[in-house]
Amino acid sequence: MTRIRFFALLRERLGVSEWHYAQEKPVDVEALIRILKAESLAWETELNAQEVLVAVNQALVERSFIVNPGDEVALFPPVTGG
Amino acid sequence: MTRIRFFALLRERLGVSEWHYAQEKPVDVEALIRILKAESLAWETELNAQEVLVAVNQALVERSFIVNPGDEVALFPPVTGG
Amino acid sequence: MKTIIRVQMEAFSVGDEYERLTHDPDCGAVVTFTGLVRDLPHAAIQALELEHYPEMTERMLQGIADQARQRWSVRGITIIHRIGRLTRNQPIVFVGVASAHRHSAFQAAEFIMDFLKTRAPFWKKEETSDTCYWVAAKASDQRAAKRWEQDSAQ
Amino acid sequence: MKTIIRVQMEAFSVGDEYERLTHDPDCGAVVTFTGLVRDLPHAAIQALELEHYPEMTERMLQGIADQARQRWSVRGITIIHRIGRLTRNQPIVFVGVASAHRHSAFQAAEFIMDFLKTRAPFWKKEETSDTCYWVAAKASDQRAAKRWEQDSAQ
């Protein structure tokens, strides 16, 4: 089971703050995003429309990063703090 | 009459905090320093030994700057505030 | 040589944070940066809501402070970021750096702010009198962070 | 858009000076620099005596602030320099800059310090437990000031 969390604008647009994926083997971030897009046309549209940053286990990662079952993945828009 | 003031290490080494020069016509800073050096061998030694900054009427100036009678001239070592 | 990281709802006192940074006889220079809620070019801000990713923020801020220490010889580092609802003119973020010399304190403080702006998981939602929207990330912030990559020298 | 220049014997409060700089709804960034009496690499400082050229100092500091305003878009500027006898860990100098954006506040504050260090007529005499001497000017300060001449960009 992999927990995928959404923040800020992305959370509002997708309509959920998290989503659980019954992951069984390692996949890269790119593949995980394709799985999310396959969930619904609305999600596909949102995830295509926006720039999305990805963190795995609370560290920013590239799209090629490998996600293992049990990891915490977070998707969010570019940050705007400070 | 031109008032020449000395500060910090230079004041201590020359032994006076100011010196009045009966100036009658404009001279450049370079010439004024030559006049000071001519005052005593001790002054000449000190003024040769040290890097000296010059302000005329409270603004830093180059050696070619023209001093008029009545100006306030200040000679001091490189500044070390802050 | 202490690093202090805080993420909090409450306001902070710049005076108190400054004092904390000066308890070190080897520290000759303290630089502080404070970011405040300011009016927009086109409208007065009523309030600002700051969301964050709790499990990640402190870890990320600690990582940015560690990177600053690798680049410059600095002593104390304090990073405070507020979350929740903030109103006009209130402080949002504080970065303080104490160092033996001024240049490293200035550089480290600006580096921390540039990285915080582009890496730390905070998002701002602004409210004016008639609307409410998520703030867009700025290209100028990306450029500001990027210049430290080229900048290998002090 | 105020410039405050003060040359004084008394200590100052960084917290109070920071607060004064934030009374401006267009100011989103405040950078402060504070320089303190610190121990030397080889000996503990007992005290420091600061001499200045009274008629010239405030005018020079005002001129440095004016130059910073010509280079960067900043709002409030505060420069405070102490004179007289200071002991270990006491603050000597404060530079605060309030601005809409952080980069101009950082740049202006560092510029003011670099120029103050090489132009403003202050001289330090340091006392350790067994000696007392005038501080020598540093080549690194000259280089720091010089880099702003080449630096035509923001």
| D6 CB within 8 Å of a chain B CB | no
- Of C32, C7, C34, C36, the C-alpha closest to C19 is C32
pLDDT band at residue C152 using 50, 70 and 90 as cut-offs: low
Strand D132-134, strand D122-128: pairing: antiparallel
Q: Stretch C46-65: mean pLDDT, rounded?
A: 96
User: In the numeric block, which tokens belong to residue C20?
Assistant: 């904390």
Alpha carbons B14 and B17: distance in angstroms, whole number:
8
* Residue D150 pLDDT: 76
Task: State ipTM.
Answer: 0.94
The domain defined by B2-76 carries CATH number 3.10.20.30: yes
CA distance B20 to chain D (A): 17
- CA–CA separation, A75 vs D57, rounded Å? 55
Which residues of A fall within a CB distance of 8 Å from C81?
81-82
Written as six digits, the tokens of C68 are 């600053």
CATH number of D44's domain: 3.90.1170.40
Q: What is the pLDDT confidence band of residue C109, given thresholds at 50, 70 and 90?
A: very high
User: How does the average pLDDT of chain C come out, rounded?
Assistant: 93
CB of A49 within 8 Å of any CB in chain C?
A: no
Q: At D133, is the secondary structure helix, strand, or coil? A: strand
Do the bridges between strand C132-134 and strand D29-36 make them parallel or antiparallel, or are there none, so unpaired? unpaired
DSSP letter for each residue of chain C = --EEEEEESS---HHHHHHHHT--TT--EEEEEEEE----SSS-EEEEEEEE-HHHHHHHHHHHHHHHHHHS--S-EEEEEE-EEEETT-EEEEEEEEESSHHHHHHHHHHHHHHHHHHS-EEEEEEESS-EEEPPP-HHHHHHHHHHHH----
pLDDT at D13: 98
Which tokens sit at A73?
A: 């993945």
pLDDT of residue A40: 95
Q: Average pLDDT, stretch A62-69?
A: 97
Q: Please report residues of D whose CB lies closer than 8 A to that of B80.
A: 117, 122-124, 134-137
DSSP assignment string, B23-69 = --S-EEHHHHHHHHHTT-HHHHHHHHHS--EEEETTEEE-TTPEEPT
A3: contact with C, CB 8 A cutoff: no
Q: Do B79 and D125 touch (CB under 8 A)?
A: no
A15-24, A67-76, C68-77, C145-154: the lowest-pLDDT one:
C145-154
Res B71: pLDDT: 97
Identify the residue among C13, C17, C34, C73 best suited for mutation to test binding to D, counting D beta carbons within 10 A and taking the highest: C34
Contacts of C138 (CB under 8 A, 6+ apart): none
Task: Output the pLDDT for position C35.
Answer: 97
Give the residue-averaged pLDDT of C74-96.
Answer: 96
* pLDDT tens for each residue of A9-58: 999 999 999 999 999 999 999 999 999 999 999 999 999 998 999 999 99
Report the DSSP pairing between strands B2-6 and B72-76: parallel
The model's pLDDT over B8-46, given as tens digits with 9 standing for 90+, comes to 999 999 999 999 999 999 999 999 999 999 999 999 999
Q: Which residues of chain B does D118 touch, with a Cβ-Cβ cutoff of 8 Å?
A: 78-79
Is the Cβ pair B7, D53 closer than 8 Å? yes
Mean pLDDT on C95-101: 97
The owner of tokens 């008029």 is: B68
Sheet holding C77-82, edge to edge: C3-8, C77-82, C91-99, C29-36, D29-36, D91-99, D77-82, D3-8
Q: What is the pLDDT of residues D106-142, one digit of tens each?
A: 999 999 999 999 999 999 999 888 889 999 999 999 9
> For residue range D63-93, what is the model confidence (pLDDT) as tens digits?
999 999 999 999 999 999 999 999 988 999 9
The pLDDT assigned to D152 comes to 55
Average pLDDT value for residue range D18-32: 92
Distance CA D137, CA B79 (A): 6
**What DSSP element (H or E) covers D132?**
strand D132-134
Determine the Cα–Cα distance for residues A13 and A46; give it in Å rounded to an integer: 7
Share of chain B above pLDDT 70, in %: 100
- Is residue D153 pLDDT above 60, yes or no? no
pLDDT-derived band at C154 (thresholds 50, 70, 90) equals very low
Q: C53: which 2 tokens?
A: 């990713």
Sign of the CA dihedral with A6 first, then A10, A12, and A13 last:
negative
Q: How many CB atoms lie within 10 A of CB D106?
A: 24
Is the pLDDT assigned to residue D154 strictly greater than 80?
no
Number of domains in chain D: 1
Of B37, B68, B35, B33, residue with least CA distance to B54: B33
**Chain C interface test: which of D16, D38, D46, D138 (most C C-beta within 10 Å):** D38
- For residue A22, the tally of other CB atoms under 10 A from its CB is 7
What pLDDT band is residue C151 in, cutting at 50, 70 and 90? low
**pLDDT beyond 90 at B62:** yes
Which residue is closest to B54 within chain D, CA to CA?
D121
Inter-residue contact C111 to C99 (CB < 8 Å): no
* Cβ-Cβ contacts under 8 Å for A25 (sequence gap 6 or more): A69
CB-nearest to B80 from D55, D59, D137 is D137
pTM over 0.80: yes
Going D102 to D104 to D109 to D110, the CA torsion angle's sign is positive
CA-based nearest distance C25→chain A, Å: 30
Domain of D21 in residue numbering reads as: 3-153
